[in-house]
Structure 1
Amino acid sequence: METPTSTERVWLITGTSSGFGKRLVPSVLARGDYVIATARSLSTLGFPPSTHLRLLTLDITSGLQSISQTITEAIAIWGRIDVLVNNAGYGEKALIEEGGSDAFRRQFETNVFGLIDVTVAVVPYMRERREGVVVNMGSRTSWMAETPGGGPYAASKAVVRSFSETLAIELASFSIRVVLVEPAAFRTEQIFAHPYFTDNPISAYDALRARSQSIYENIDGKQRGDPVKAMELVVDVVRGEGKARRRVKEEGKEGVEYLPLGRECVEAISGKFKRLEGVLEEWGEVIVDTEFQVDVKA
């Protein structure tokens, strides 16, 4: 069995049966790195055989103990994991009043708690070696959550951003980088495959629900984003080469590394910033006038 050199990276990627994960695996292999590709069922994976590729069954909702056992198996393959990509996830679609907290719990179980469990299982090995990269897949939707029915998904990805920012601070002293990837709409299969929640229909929402369902049905297959190009850029950022060579070299900053992807993501983030800046300008003096009065004589 081939052994990775010190300059070759070992990647563990979750959710590689479809979407971004399916595109990321061949992008990484093409650079000469090694990949441990995971999915709930290996029968859904169709990657060509490679001495640089291994497949592992991993259900990120199986709990920390089970996940840790799988990560132990992964470490035993090539002795280390240099890059963790938390890609596995799905989109729960439900109007908030109809889906209630159950819809959010289902969504968070995978997109938040599963991601955290995998991270907690992998990070000790990176910390011991004092190096590594954690890539978390967020979403443009966390910046612009105005689409009805997308509340659970948007909220879960907002948590991923906050989690990534704190994780970056806590791991900085161990030379572990955290990269937060926030894609806009990209043309991947099964992105909207999870059925819309309609088990608790409230008649007052009939028109809104129908419009929301139509939005999801009509956008599929028409997204402007190319997932292959997106994953090539992710590999560039992790390896510090290609389009990311100058950026990584010049910035060298601490904290989370943000990687928005797609024109729609730029528009969403800049739009949210402008809106918040407007609030600060309008309410600035009132906002800061909420503190204890300081006795300057004391």
Structure 2
Amino acid sequence: MSRVKGLTLVELLIAMVLGVFVLSAVFGVFVSSSISVTSTGQYNQIQESARLALRLMSDDLSQAGFYAGLTGTSLTTRNVSVDAVVNNDCVGLGENNASVPAGRGHFRTIWSYRQSAVPSMDCTQQALLGSHVLQVKRLLGPNVAATALSENRYYLVSNHAQARLFAGNQQAPVLVQGRYWQWQHRVYYVERRDDGMPVLKWRQLYVNGGMVEEELVEGVEMLQFLFAVDSLGDGRVDSYITASAMSEAQWDGVVEVLAVTVYLVVRAANDDQGGISDGRLRLTLPDGVVSYDDGIPRRLFSTTVMVRNAALVAEGAG
């Protein structure tokens, strides 16, 4: 009768040790794979946030100053009859820098500044220090039918001889061969939410509420601009100026903005727990170098936008 042989104590110990090594290797691969998936997800989210933010601002910047038949002029109440009042407005520096044209000065279709302890606009008091604020005004196309106007929007009706700006809840004025366009004023800035997450916001013009704040993209932590300007009137870029370095005279039509480079710092929601990043980061922006050491993944993105409707400088005087 044969005897059943088992493992000796030494063999059992060896098997257990080998099993531990195998399990450790498998667990290590699993953890590494999990960290890689998490990190990839973070960077994909950063890319997607940057893509959306840049697209929104690029669309507005490329069409800034589009005023249908008045494109290329600096608007005042001499060339536009304003039949509407804006409550809760975002008014910037300059004589003519509100949502609708005033009777004096150069109407600023693009304007920007660097947020400081003393903000230049009341509606952006909570914008992050060091980040830039951008203001853009234009008509949204295509033109709309008089029967399709929204009561909560502002509109410009114009022909080759005159233009009138009015609220959608008013009786729409009628001009011979006039076309109706939605009038838009937007202010972009970065603000930190109550949960600590930085977000890109805008204030957008409505009849009800004036410049209403809306959240656009989370993770945008820094916003800066570099302006390519023409100071000689020859249609060529003479210099590149940051928003914080542009003078009031330059904003008022001494130079023509031909292009704008947008810079975004976008971060992930959480820190890089896998240690793929060492947690230290230095990024070069138009206003200088910014440093981060909290371990949260970040990326710097930029794009250059051609301004298609640069205003004629001569129209801004007076």
Please, what TM-score do these two structures have when normalized by structure 2? 0.21
Point out the structure with max Rg over C-alpha.
Answer: 2
Structure whose residues are more often helix by fraction: 1
Structure whose residues are more often strand by fraction: 2
Please, what TM-score do these two structures have when normalized by structure 1? 0.22
